[in-house]
Structure 1
Amino acid sequence: MKLGVYNAILHDRTLPEAIEVVANLGLTGLELNSGGFLPAVHIPSFEDILTSDAARDDFLGLFAGTGVSIAGLNCNGNPLHPNPTIRDKHAEDVRRSIRLANRLGQHRVITMSGLPGGEPGASQPNWIVNAWNSAALDVLDYQWEVAARFWKEIDRLAHDLDVKVALELHPQNLVFNPADIRTLVERTAATNIGVELDASHLFWQQMDPVAVVKNLGPLVFQAAAKDVRVNVENAAIYGVLDNRFRRLSPTEPRTNLGGDEWANEWPKDAAWDFVALGKGHDTAYWTEFLRALHAVDPDMLVNIEHEDTELGRLEGLEVAASVLLAADAALHASLRQ
């Protein structure tokens, strides 16, 4: 396994400083944000790398001798958004990330499937959570048509440039479970589209990431190590579809998601929270998660994503890295037996 960190939590540091943090954690990979919801903070020479061998070599030189290498590019966003300001930017970020991956000798781009509106002319995405009525299936029929057109194009580009596009199974996207990724692959005849197995979003949907890895097999291209703690008393009242978010005002610190869309404040007594590895599931569980991934690809890239608000940036990475490394050691010890 190749264990690393997704760099968004280290955007407050320069790239050399972020690389040093990863090396000091005993990890070997750094997944770089390359657009979408977040800017490509650690790739300031993005455009130059696409056209200049010297710029590419200078960028790769920052990793030389550090023991840390690039572990995929991440451009999570909504390339199917009905608002063209958001859609066009995020869709082009996917294309540019695939081209950049090829230039950097990388073979993985992580993103999301995206989510269209519910009908032509819509202005906002429409996530069908439970298609119990015929009108909901009409919406899904339209959304799959939109998705298939875009992802056929992306699959061709990825195939031509020897890049695998790994879609995070993230709610509020058209593709958020194993059935959906199979539908997308079937509708597009895709060869280079699969899954980034982020365990966290499966946990809160009451899915078992180990079972999902075994179910999807070679469709799993990459993985994210992020835990979830279900707050049982709150979940018993509000359910895991807890929707009590608060809109942040322009005077408060907030994250732009494209156009005039912003991340909201998480419920204070939430039904579930993102937490560092070990705070939701123990080392034994993560050992089995790595075992399932290892069976698919012994060189699978597995990167920590830190979103635990109870821990600082470095503190959270240290907690997660200690659990991930212990799980990896336990896995390899068992394989030697």
Structure 2
Amino acid sequence: MRLGMYCNYTEKTAEFATRVGFESMELAVWSRSTVNPKISDADLAKVLKDLEHRDIEISGIGFYPNHLHPNKPEAEEAQAYMYEVIELARRMGVTVIGTHGGNNYFRSIEDNIPEWKEVFYGYCDKAAKYGIKIALENCPMCDFKTMFRNNLAYSPEIWAVLFDVLPAENLGLEFDPAHMIWQGLDYVQAVLDFGDKIFHVHAKDVEVMKKEWGRYGMFGPQFGDHPKHWRGRSVGWGDVDWPKFISALVEVGYDGNMDVEHEDKVFLKQMLKGLDLSEEQNLINNFSTEENGMILAYNHLRPLVPPYKR
């Protein structure tokens, strides 16, 4: 199992990864990412050569929009871009694409299933022709004031339905344990139950803020600009039991990569000033460049993650 990081590729980030000891990268491929569907063959070749020289494997590429957005033009734009991402993965020789399931939040999850099946059947069918897997990341992407969720693929109950209605061999999970803790879900049991469907793993921690939770409850604060009742932390600084989680991955035979997704605002405080954090591109393009939290995550995970066989 290679230990890596989810990031926007830059030469500086690659140099940092090499210096620390990271062995893989999941590359963000949004429209403003360094690697995106518009990248020239020559520039892409430089990126691939640089990472190959460093023995850094590209574990996957990531694009996380709302594929079923209630604003139809926005949904259509996301879907069209996703097909470009599949072509990009083919050009790169990458076999895993991480994404969200999407959700029309004006409908129930159940009522979303027919449209979801149609959209993702198209993705899976095209991706299968190239030997590419579609991995659903499990963050609900929830606005705690409106309770709108931009991703329906957030719980084991829902995963079971999705895999039943669309039993494609190349449809699976990009598993992030942190999102499950604040929802009250059993992330270890979920690994054991869905092990054959885990195509990629995000390493992110979460800290449940007990004082805030006690005041606001599971739905979080509803008035003013108050802190949430949970926050992302660097690996080892939150509530995920990493030995138990990694043990479960080993038990089910997971042999993919584990890439750190750094979203700890304790370390990112200065960097975040003035940034529009409503856009995923701003998050990943900046979070992955904060070195202290990344180094702490690596140091915590290195003794726990089984080394890959060269």
Cα drift, residue 84 of structure 1: 2.5
Is the alpha carbon distance of 1:215 and 1:74 closer, same or farther for their aligned partners in structure 2, counting shifts above 3 Å? same
Residue of structure 1 equivalent to 2:180: 202
- Return the TM-score normalized by structure 2: 0.83
Count of equivalent residues: 277
Matched, 1:30 2:25: yes
Is the alpha carbon distance of 1:7 and 1:188 closer, same or farther for their aligned partners in structure 2, counting shifts above 3 Å? same
CA RMSD across the alignment: 2.1
Report the Cα distance in structure 2 between the residues aligned to 1:141 and 1:205, rounded to whole angstroms.
Answer: 19
Structure 2 counterparts to residues 125-140 of structure 1, below 5 A: 125-126=105-106, 139-140=108-109
Contact 1:32 1:42 in 2 (8 A): no
Report the Cα distance in structure 1 between the residues aligned to 2:258 and 2:178, rounded to whole angstroms.
Answer: 13
Cα drift, residue 243 of structure 1: 4.4
Structure 2 counterparts to residues 193-232 of structure 1, below 5 A: 193-232=171-210
Contact 2:35 2:44 in 1 (8 A): no
Q: Percent identity?
A: 26
Is the alpha carbon distance of 1:217 and 1:90 closer, same or farther for their aligned partners in structure 2, counting shifts above 3 Å? same
Q: Please, which runs of 5 or more residues in structure 2 have no aligned partner?
A: 141-148, 269-289
Aligned partner of residue 109 in structure 1, secondary structure: strand
Residue of structure 2 equivalent to 1:47: 38
Matched, 1:68 2:69: no
Q: Please, which runs of 5 or more residues in structure 1 have no aligned partner?
A: 9-13, 117-124, 128-138, 247-266, 333-337
Report the Cα distance in structure 2 between the residues aligned to 1:195 and 1:24, rounded to whole angstroms.
Answer: 30
Structure 2 counterparts to residues 319-330 of structure 1, below 5 A: 319-328=296-305
Report the Cα distance in structure 1 between the residues aligned to 2:177 and 2:161, rounded to whole angstroms.
Answer: 21
Query: Match for 1:2: what amino acid?
Result: R
Aligned partner of residue 303 in structure 2, secondary structure: helix
Residue of structure 1 equivalent to 2:265: 309
Aligned partner of residue 135 in structure 2, secondary structure: strand
Report the Cα distance in structure 2 between the residues aligned to 1:153 and 1:180, rounded to whole angstroms.
Answer: 20
Contact 2:221 2:227 in 1 (8 A): no
Cα drift, residue 56 of structure 1: 4.2
CA deviations 1:186-206 (Å, max 9, x no partner) are 112322111111111101111
The equivalent position to 1:82 in structure 2, one of 64, 70, 82, is 70
Larger displacement relative to structure 2 (236-245 or 65-74): 236-245
Contact 2:103 2:109 in 1 (8 A): no
Residue of structure 1 equivalent to 2:85: 97
Aligned partner of residue 38 in structure 2, secondary structure: helix
Cα drift, residue 241 of structure 1: 2.1
- Return the TM-score normalized by structure 1: 0.76
Residue of structure 2 equivalent to 1:145: 114
Matched, 1:295 2:259: no
CA deviations 1:96-141 (Å, max 9, x no partner) are 222211221111100000002xxxxxxxx337xxxxxxxxxxx444
Structure 1 or 2, whichever has the larger Rg, is 1
Cα drift, residue 326 of structure 1: 2.5
Larger displacement relative to structure 2 (163-172 or 63-72): 63-72
Cα drift, residue 277 of structure 1: 1.1
Cα drift, residue 295 of structure 1: 3.0
